[in-house]
Amino acid sequence: MAKRAKKSGPKAEKSGKGKLSATAQKHLSEVRVKIDAIDKKLVKLLNERADLVVNVGKFKRAAGLPIYAPHREAEVLDKVIHANTGPLQDRTLEGVYRELMSGSFQLQQPLRIGFLGPQGSYSHVAAVRHFGSSVAFEDLHEIAGVFTEVARGHVNYGLVPIENSTGGGIVETLDALTKMHSSCHVYAEVQLEVHHALLANCEPKDVRRIHSKPEVFSQCRQWLATQYPKAELIPAASSSRAAQIAADECKKALEIGAIPGTAAIGSDLAGQIYGLKTLFSKIEDKLNNITRFFVITRAKAVRSGDDKTSIMFITEDKPGALVDVLGVFRDRGVNLSHIDKRPSGRTNWSYTFFIDAVGHRDDPQVAGAIEEAGEHCQELIVLGSYPRARRIL
């Protein structure tokens, strides 16, 4: 019988289980030397870029321009992704450059970002992914508090949730916009793909109680009914607060020698912060679960060429008034991508409407539509024009 030919490829380089042959080790060492040399070049180039960023910061401060410019951020990311030929994914390079820009903010002017906490909330996750880890983050406890601290100048920017693809509009943010629109402007938007995780410090079979926000339970209803039909679901003010509670209960159980039976549903970041293990990730029933956030500040964003404009209005008290307002945008060729409403607080059954129009308030067709629509309204206010979020974080 003829001998079988030796296989070529990576397996032929092994000298034993878990070990590389001398030839493979030599080749690996050579590759690592090349990687180290490239890393040195990268660090040198990144610091050369940082020197230029410092100069940009001097010009901006002298001219009174904001350090964070969402239209410029969009330009940089688009150029980077357009230049990418692989094998790195676009998402990877975007993450690298967001951290670079975060470090650039720190060099030009330290920024403070307010968010709805506690730490580990999805607002916190969105803020970190959008602004990077080199800025300072402030837990402002309530959405109204984010608006207040931005208006007072105690934080440079605030990040607040505006709508969820499953649960709809966030009423606290809509209400805050009606009260604080004169001192805060919508400056940018962020879209975060929300993934829920079951967090605990016990075995999956030992989970008897689960803490989380009621809206989170509803987004994981089918999974919970299948996997934990007998578990007690305990509502919490937020998913991050739920993680805090679960961590405390687990700690107390371990101190007395009991088996922890408490879990929480929240973000992986919450688990990392509060010392909980991820038992199961991505347990949401709808995998394409997106939450949209507004970045608010006291400045106004300039045109990027791919913008949205958020508007709120109260119609005249007459038949067909809402149809008349919406018809103006239709007739002017301005697409509306979102509409919501809240009680106006003035009289019963009177509403404040919120719409997002595609385009910038300085675009002729949008400007014309806003002016004409105002003729059918008791009040019409532009909350902000800002670059459209082109990617989901």
- What pLDDT, in 10s, does the model give residues 36-51? 999 999 999 999 998 8
- Is-contact 139 110, C-beta < 8 A? no
pLDDT, average across residues 125-129: 94
Hey, what domains does the chain have and what are their CATH numbers? Answer: 39-104 (1.20.59.10), 110-193+290-294 (3.40.190.10), 197-280 (3.40.190.10), 301-387 (3.30.70.260)
* Range from 11-25, 133-147, 254-268 carrying the lowest mean pLDDT: 11-25
The CA distance from 376 to 188, in Å, is: 28
* pLDDT of residue 196 exceeding 90: yes
* Range from 117-131, 220-234, 313-327, 337-351 carrying the lowest mean pLDDT: 337-351
* Range from 10-14, 247-251, 299-303 carrying the lowest mean pLDDT: 10-14
Cβ atoms < 10 Å from Cβ of 134:
16
What pLDDT does residue 61 have?
A: 83
Q: What would the pLDDT profile of 59-107 be if each residue is shown by its tens digit?
A: 888 888 888 888 888 888 889 999 999 899 998 998 898 888 888 888 8
Q: For the chain, how far is it from start to end, CA to CA, in angstroms?
A: 59
- Is-contact 321 374, C-beta < 8 A? no
What pLDDT does residue 168 have?
A: 84
Query: What percentage of residues in the chain have a pLDDT greater than 70?
Result: 94
Q: What would the pLDDT profile of 307-338 be if each residue is shown by its tens digit?
A: 999 999 999 888 888 999 999 999 999 999 99
The CA distance from 106 to 135, in Å, is: 6
pLDDT, average across residues 178-188: 90
What pLDDT does residue 1 have?
A: 44
pLDDT, average across residues 380-389: 94
* pLDDT of residue 12 exceeding 70: no
What pLDDT does residue 385 have?
A: 96
What pLDDT does residue 17 have?
A: 61
The CA distance from 328 to 34, in Å, is: 62
Query: What percentage of residues in the chain have a pLDDT greater than 90?
Result: 62
* pLDDT of residue 7 exceeding 60: no
Q: What is the SS3 assignment for the chain? A: CCCCCCCCCHHHHEEECCEECHHHHHHHHHHHHHHHHHHHHHHHHHHHHHHHHHHHHHHHHHHCCCCCCHHHHHHHHHHHHHHCCCCCCHHHHHHHHHHHHHHHHHHHCCCEEEECCCCCCHHHHHHHHHHCCCCEEEECCCHHHHHHHHHHCCCCEEEEEEEECCCEECHHHHHHHHHHCCCCEEEEEEEEECCCEEEECCCHHHCCEEEECHHHHHHCHHHHHHHCCCCEEEECCCHHHHHHHHHHHHHHHHHCCCCCCEEEEECHHHHHHHCCEEEECCCCCCCCCEEEEEEEECCCCCCCCCEEEEEEEEECCCCCHHHHHHHHHHHCCCCEEEEEEEECCCCCCCEEEEEEEECCCCCHHHHHHHHHHHHHEEEEEEEEEEECCCCEC
Reported confidence tier of residue 16, pLDDT bands at 50, 70, 90: low
What pLDDT does residue 349 have?
A: 65
The CA distance from 187 to 294, in Å, is: 7
Q: What is the mean pLDDT of the chain?
A: 89
The structure's pTM equals 0.81
Please indicate whether residue 154 or residue 166 has the higher confidence score (pLDDT): 154
